[in-house]
Amino acid sequence: MAVSTAVRTYYAERIFAQSGRDEAPPNFRPLDVEPTGRFTVEGCRGGGKNVLEIQLTGDDDRVTDLRLACGLCNPAMYACADVVADWARGRDLAGILALDPLDVGNLTPFFERLGGPGRPDDAREKFQYVLLALQRAVLDHRREAAPPMPEIGEHTGRDLDDEDDED
């Protein structure tokens, strides 16, 4: 299935252009210190594995830093993980845990950070994977048990705004 224009543009400029043989985009470089929380999610559709690991450091209140490791991820996973990492760095733990990623209305700030056009559904799917994984990494940091990952709807390849219009 084709990659949305928004994901393609973000990926080309922020991920691909910063990747090299001895270089990874800043959010995909390892932490310099041992992480205090981590979680791995497999957002697998088709042939890519999309295994994303989130590692973070934090204190009692905030995420002080976080990094990502992507195993054979597709462009949407890379782009969405990068957006979420920038959003979460320095953010208060309670705020991260309070977010309901399954409510598409809560994803608006992330779509805005991704850039347009529209609200592509391939990004919606991966934002949900990444945010749910982030919450579980935060719970791991707080040494709290994490609930199982909920089912996330496979993306339609369309734009959420187009679907709204059809209604």
The CB-of-93 to another protein minimum distance in angstroms stands at 26
d(CA 16, CA 21): 12
Per rule CB under 8 A, is residue 32 in the interface with another protein? Answer: no
CB 42 within 8 A of CB 149: no
Q: How many angstroms separate the CA atoms of 160 and 104, rounded?
A: 9
With CB under 8 A as the contact rule, the residue among 32, 34, 47, 165 that binds another protein is 47
Which of 36, 38, 32, 42 lies closest to 71, judged by CA? Answer: 42
> Given candidates 63, 81, 119, 122, which one binds another protein under the rule CB under 8 A?
122
61: number of Cβ within 10 Å:
11
Residue 30 in contact with another protein, rule: CB under 8 A = yes
Question: Binding of another protein at residue 128 (CB under 8 A)?
Answer: no
The size of the interface with another protein (CB under 8 A), counted in residues, is 35
Other Cβ atoms closer than 10 A to 117: 11
Q: Could you list the residues that contact another protein (CB under 8 A)?
A: 1-3, 8, 11-12, 15-16, 19-24, 28-30, 45-49, 51, 69-76, 78, 122, 155, 157
